[in-house]
Amino acid sequence: MTARNDAQEFSAPGIRPGSRSLAGRTLLLSGGSRGIGLAIALRAARDGANVALLAKTGEPHPKLEGTVYTAAEQIEAAGGRALPLVGDVRNDDDVRAAVDATASTFGGIDVVVNNASAIDLSRTPDVDMKRYDLMADINVRGTFLLSKSALEALKRSDNPHILTLSPPLNLTPEWAGRHLAYTMAKYGMSLTTLGLAEELKDDGVAVNSLWPATLIDTAAIRAMPGGDRIVRAARSPRIVADAAHAVLVRPARDCTGNFYTDEQVLREEGVTDFTPYSLGAPEDRLVPDIFL
């Protein structure tokens, strides 16, 4: 994929190119070898951003496409500077090393994107406790740890943002009853947004969450039973990437403590036609995402 094609693919319909930019800004993103994380990284790269990717996939996975190194190649081809970092967001030393390497390589950190997440929608009798621990460690602890570890660097930025891919805190019992273990793990990420936004409001660090309004075509969804059928009623990760970009270029002191959906953000940017993000299903046939 050439830089020109990246620029065409990751362009939000209705948003004027070049109106606001992440040029020269430094993002540290957990995950990012594929899917939504990679889409966010490529959208930033189009502006000429520096993107550090902390991900476990250093070697090709037998079932999942992409590694941290292939993602870095795509970022550079799209016009950004890339720093691939093989590591585990659950590991304190890996996270500290990633923060230090990002800050020393690019001269600071402006944005942290908590994208890494594990999913298991099993009900309580069926969930394996190893999967429970995995979700708790990656989703909740990993988000807290990466955010905490980058705080000092972020406070030195003139427009610092933490953006977490997690849902609004919807306490309707339905969501806890459907998949309690996963709900607790995702809501733990959202509680981190809620708490850090309050804790850091006087420091000028924006802390927000972003969640898709509809199902998104990702490797995790395709790996689920019937996944190839389910994603036909999904949107491309590009919609989340464009929404993330729109949030991250906003003045940090003017937008914190929000639980955005991708549609909400893009409507605020003047987008009214979301059909270019669809994988082919009519808008009224798209599957709403969970937790909404």
Q: How, if at all, do strands 161-165 and 206-211 pair?
A: parallel
DSSP state of 289: P
- Among candidate residues 10, 61, 66, 227, the one with its CA nearest the CA of residue 53: 66
User: Phi and psi of 181, rounded to 5°?
Assistant: -60, -45
Name the residues annotated as catalytic: 182
Q: What tokens were used for 203?
A: 């420091």
Q: Which positions ≥6 away from 50 have C-beta within 8 Å?
A: 24, 25, 26, 27, 80, 81, 82, 83, 105, 106
Work out the end-to-end distance of the chain between its first and last CA atoms, rounded to an integer number of angstroms.
Answer: 35
Q: How far apart are CA 50 and CA 27, in angstroms?
A: 6
Q: How far apart are CA 185 and CA 160, in angstroms?
A: 25
